[in-house]
Structure 1
């Protein structure tokens, strides 16, 4: 599987990607929002200019009455603010809508993660509401609010 965006290529995480991804997820600017996963195997590598620059993942709800997909992403801090995350999210969103048949996508950044919220907005996601005490911060142990955002297929740019 390989998906091409305007700036990025999304591909299955390869055996040699683990060290780079582990290093990225431990960067202070990333670690504040992400705890290191046990396994990167179910993710797609975000490749920018030939370099693994992060990872993106999706989950799909199979129940036909609630069918939709969710997205999550992290990128190296060196590439924050360059439109790479927006391109990666938009690329995966297009695939989920056009190839997987989803009519609705969700993404749920921390409510305090204004940079991510801005990026997801540029990809077409709209705020739905605050999910109180939604995620547990692995660094502080405190519960934090999340922002539920969604994108309908007909709104995809």
Structure 2
């Protein structure tokens, strides 16, 4: 598994993956964002590749205020690839990059509180539960809110 900056060559497959039912339920419709994944200049975007095949997407954002410096991570993988350890490898690789190369001492991630598979993946890397953020995120259909789980990882906890 490797992470590489997103290029135009990756976009069609990334948009296909984002449009799958499992990913769309968490990320919303790709049609809502015609310039995705290039629409947010405040985050760094990477394609998850396995033997040259696009398997998913991971991004990070950084808070650079010295008093609160940290990075946040978000990702999705092709649901056809779930259960193979690719998510854990992706999160661990990104976490190592953010700690070792970008100098962060703390990382955060905020899965939906009911996303047990994601939470288990993040815990395997060393993320710990901080707390539930009630009614944190609007459902992708826009008809209600769901809870989010704030998790963080300190550099010394990276497994």
TM-score by length of 1: 0.92
- Residue of 84, 87, 94 corresponding to 2:86: 84
Q: Which residue of 2 aligns with 1:27?
A: 20
Structure 1 residue ranges, 4+ long, deviating more than 6 angstroms after superposition:
none
SS of aligned partner of 1:101: coil
Aligned-partner Cα distance in 1 for 2:51–2:143: 36
Q: Which residue of 2 aligns with 1:16?
A: 9
Aligned-partner Cα distance in 1 for 2:127–2:141: 28
Aligned-partner Cα distance in 2 for 1:64–1:71: 19
Gaps of 5+ in 2: 39-43
Q: 91-100 or 41-50: which moved more?
A: 41-50
- Report Cα offsets for 1:92-140 as digits up to 9, x if no partner: 1001001111000000000011110011111111111000111111225
Aligned-partner Cα distance in 1 for 2:84–2:141: 27
Q: Which residue of 1 aligns with 2:120?
A: 118
Q: 17-26 or 137-146: which moved more?
A: 137-146
Alignment: residue pair count: 150
Which one has a larger percent helix, Structure 1 or Structure 2?
2
TM-score by length of 2: 0.91
SS of aligned partner of 1:72: strand
Instruction: Compute the displacement of 1:49 (Å).
Output: 2.3
Instruction: Compute the displacement of 1:17 (Å).
Output: 1.0
Q: Which residue of 2 aligns with 1:65?
A: 67
